Copies of this chain bind each other. A is one copy, B any other.
Amino acid sequence: MSDNTFGHLFRVTTWGESHGRGLGCVVDGCPPGIQLDEAMIQQALDRRRPGQSRHTTQRREPDQVAIWSGVFEGVTTGTPISLIIENQDQRSKDYSDIKDKFRPGHADYAYIAKYGTRDYRGGGRQSARETAARVAAGGVAEAALKNILGENFAITGALVGIGDKRLADDIAFDSKIINDNPLFCPDAAVVPEWETYLDEVRKSGSSIGAVIEVRATGIPAGLGAPIYGKLDTELAAAMMSINAVKGVEIGNGMAAAALRGEQNADEMRLGDDGTPRFTSNKAGGVLGGISTGQDVVVRFAVKPTSSILTPRDTIDRQGNETEIITKGRHDPCVGIRAVPVGEAMMACTLLDQLLRHRGQTGRNGPADWHADG
């Protein structure tokens, strides 16, 4: 069963609400002997932290992570790693407005329909604040992947679209550029224009959607498995499980529908070292659900924040038609802070697949592809 757990051999169970005592996750199945400390995880969390630019919510959440178990003398012990982030600001706010009104675009009504009750404070479990726990888990996964795969391994996410603006699919990802602007945008040239656009959106009390792309490099061929343990199946699930995500693409994605067979299939040649290489990467590094050794490329769309200042029609739990304005400090574009979340989900998915691959085959990497005789 899944629900609040993801992964199989490397498993992450998250818990916590936006305005409860805290939130966190239990990371089970991590390989032992991996160097890990709170600073390494904090680094990932700090990229997701709100209030770092005018384009994200101005709330103050220090999101300080603590390791409560599973690490001893600086290395993982192979037992469950409990990561906890205490909520700083649990003061009782006035939630009377959202307590009984269903905010359009939010899961207020859906939660009531499912459970008959909900913690409405700041969205409770629905809040994107839950993703902090995933980012913390991703920090563990990334440390383990680096340990196993070495220095060629890297995961890089970026904002590649916002509103109707969109970068070319072949835009280069330079993590120095990406981390050097508040939008995680890989094209420094467009940043001023995009920032102006975001300012306009924010000042109008509105919000806007975004497209995020995450690339993993240094991934061995052979990860994934038919039919439901496919690498792309699990990446799609991982990304779609992030709050506000409405679409997921691998490689070419939805655009594959418009291609002819000759345009779509990546041809193969031999590299100078005699290893297989592909002349293109329309497949996004996955064929038949199994990695090919190329970059693994995933894209996902994040819908605009539903908390906006324009009044919206809704109903309340007393059975009245009414309207609602969601005041407060909200991200005009939640997609920006989804970049580190997407990276974390990529890291967790890849590590889990890698552990399962070596479980079944005994290898960290691909089999020899040469035929006998």
Any B CB within 8 A of the CB of A56: no
Query: Are A358 and B359 in contact, CB atoms less than 8 angstroms apart?
Result: yes
Task: Decide yes or no whether A9 CB sits under 8 A from chain B.
Answer: yes
Question: For residue A157, which residues in chain B have a CB less than 8 angstroms away from its CB?
Answer: none
On chain B, the residues within 8 Å of A291 by CB distance are 110, 113
Give the distance in Å from the alpha carbon of A358 to the alpha carbon of B23 in the complex. Answer: 27
Whether A208 contacts B261 by the Cβ 8 Å rule is: yes
On chain B, the residues within 8 Å of A77 by CB distance are 115, 117-119, 124-125
- Report the minimum CB–CB distance from A255 to chain B (whole Å): 7
Q: Which of B78, B126, B229 lies in contact with A361, CB distance below 8 A?
A: B78
B249 touches A306 (CB 8 A): no
Are the CB atoms of B226 and A356 closer together than 8 Å?
no
Residues of B within 8 A of A225 (CB): 3-4, 78, 114
Could you tell me the distance between the alpha carbons of A262 and B201 in the complex, rounded to whole angstroms? 11
By a CB distance below 8 angstroms, the chain B residues around A66 are 21
Number of copies: 4
Q: Fill in one digit per residue for A276-294: 1 if any B CB lies within 8 Å of its CB, else 0.
A: 1001000110111111110
Cβ-defined partner of A79 (8 Å) among B69, B226, B259, B269: B226
Which of the listed residues A3, A6, A117, A312 has the most CB atoms from chain B within 10 Å of its own CB? A3
Q: Would you call A252 an interface residue if the criterion is a C-beta within 8 Å of the partner chain's C-beta atoms?
A: yes
Task: Give the segment of A27-35, A39-47, A184-192 that binds chain B.
Answer: A27-35
Which chain B residues lie closer than 8 Å to A314 at the CB level? Answer: 267-268
Contact of A313 among B73, B117, B269, B356 (CB under 8 A): B269
Interface CB pairs A-B, < 8 A, 6: A110-B288, A114-B222, A209-B258, A230-B240, A240-B248, A362-B364
**Which 6 A-B residue pairs are closest in the complex by CB-CB distance?**
A107-B288, A105-B265, A359-B359, A116-B367, A3-B229, A317-B371
**Given A32-B361, A114-B222, 18 extra CB contacts under 8 A:** A2-B234, A4-B80, A9-B359, A9-B360, A13-B26, A13-B28, A16-B82, A17-B69, A17-B70, A104-B266, A106-B287, A107-B288, A112-B369, A115-B367, A236-B237, A236-B239, A247-B257, A267-B313
